[in-house]
Amino acid sequence: MKLLNYQAVYVMWLRQIKRFLRTKSRLASNFIQPFFFLAILGFGLGSARFAGMPSGIEYIDILAPGIIAMSILFPSVFVGLSVLWDKQFGFLQEVLVAPVSRLSIVIGRTLGGATTALIQGLIVLIIATVLGVSFQLSLSLILAFVFMVLIAFVAIGIGLIIASKMESIEGFQFVVSLFVFPLLFLSSPFSPLESLPSWLRTIAFVDPITYGVDGLRATLIGYSYFPIYINLIVLIVLSVVMMGLGSYFFSKSEV
C-alpha cells in the first residue's frame, strides 16, 4: 500500500470543509461565543490590572489570544473525536475498507480540521479587532496563523487518542469536562501567565495549550511569558507527538 494517497487526503479534507460549512448552527456559534467572551469579559474586567502586564496593553488584548486559542481548541478536539461519530453512524466502515492507508485518512481529516481552525481563528481575530483590540500588524501575524494551526494539530491529536479509547459518543460530556476544560483553563487564556500563583503556573507548563496561548500573545500583541521560539519549538514537538500517537491509535482501530 502506498504510504499516502493524495486523492484520499484531498477528499477527506473536502468532506471536512463541506461539513463545516453546512452545519449552520455551528457556524453561527463560531461568531456568537467568542463575541460574548470578548465583549463581556473584555469590557467587564477591562479595568483589571494583572502582575507583569506592561502599560499600554489593555486586558482585552491579553484576553483575545486566549479566546482565539479557545475557539480553536474545542472544535479541533471534536475533529479528532468525530471518528466516534463516524463510527456511530457507520461511515467509518466505508472509510476504513477503502484501499488507502490509515495515514492518508488521518492526514486528510487533520488538514480539514486545521483549515477550519484557521477560519475560526480568523473570525475571532476580526471580532476582536471590531471590539477594539489593537493587534500588531506585521510579519508576526503570519506566525500567529502558524500557532493556530499547531494548536489545532495538538488538539486533533488529543481528540484522536481519546476517540480510540472510547467505544461510543456517550461519554462525550465526560471527556469535555475531564480533558478539554482543564486544557483550556490551565493554559491561562483569561489572564497573563505571570498572574498565576507559582504552583498553578507549574501545572500550566505541562499543558500544551499554554504554549499556544503564549505564542499567540507574542505574535499578536507582542507580549508573552516565553520567547516566541520556545513556544514554537515546544508546540511543534508536541503536535508531532500528539498527531503521531493519534494516528497510531487510529491505525489500530477495528470496526
Q: How far is the CB of 117 from other proteins (least distance, A)?
A: 19
Q: Which value, to the nearest 10 degrees, does the dihedral of the CA atoms of residues 133, 138, 144, 146 take?
A: 160
Residues 6+ apart with CB under 8 A from 58: 46, 133
Q: Rule CB under 8 A: is residue 185 a binding residue for other proteins? A: no
Q: Rule CB under 8 A: is residue 102 a binding residue for other proteins? A: no
- Which of 17, 19, 26, 57: binder of other proteins (CB under 8 A)? 19
What is the separation, in whole angstroms, between the first and last Cα of the chain?
20
- Which of 43, 46, 52, 89: binder of other proteins (CB under 8 A)? 89
Q: Rule CB under 8 A: is residue 93 a binding residue for other proteins? A: yes
Q: Rule CB under 8 A: is residue 254 a binding residue for other proteins? A: yes
Q: Is the dihedral of CA 148, 157, 181, 226 positive or negative?
A: negative
- In angstroms, the Cα distances linking 55 to 12, 19, 49, 51, 149 are 47, 44, 10, 11, 30
Cβ–Cβ contacts within 10 Å for residue 200, how many? 13
Please name the amino acid found at residue 255: V
Q: Rule CB under 8 A: is residue 84 a binding residue for other proteins? A: no
Q: Rule CB under 8 A: is residue 4 a binding residue for other proteins? A: no
Cβ–Cβ contacts within 10 Å for residue 125, how many? 24
Read off the C-alpha cell for 73: 481548541
Q: Rule CB under 8 A: is residue 130 a binding residue for other proteins? A: no
Q: Rule CB under 8 A: is residue 98 a binding residue for other proteins? A: yes
Per the CB < 8 A criterion, the answer to whether 254 and 114 are in contact is no
Q: Rule CB under 8 A: is residue 81 a binding residue for other proteins? A: no
Q: Rule CB under 8 A: is residue 170 a binding residue for other proteins? A: no
Q: Rule CB under 8 A: is residue 120 a binding residue for other proteins? A: no
Q: How far is the CB of 80 from other proteins (least distance, A)?
A: 18
Using CB under 8 A, count the residues that bind other proteins: 26
- Which of 53, 67, 81, 95: binder of other proteins (CB under 8 A)? 95
Q: Rule CB under 8 A: is residue 5 a binding residue for other proteins? A: yes
Give the residues lining the site for other proteins (CB under 8 A): 1, 5, 7-8, 10-11, 14-15, 18-19, 22-23, 89-100, 254-255
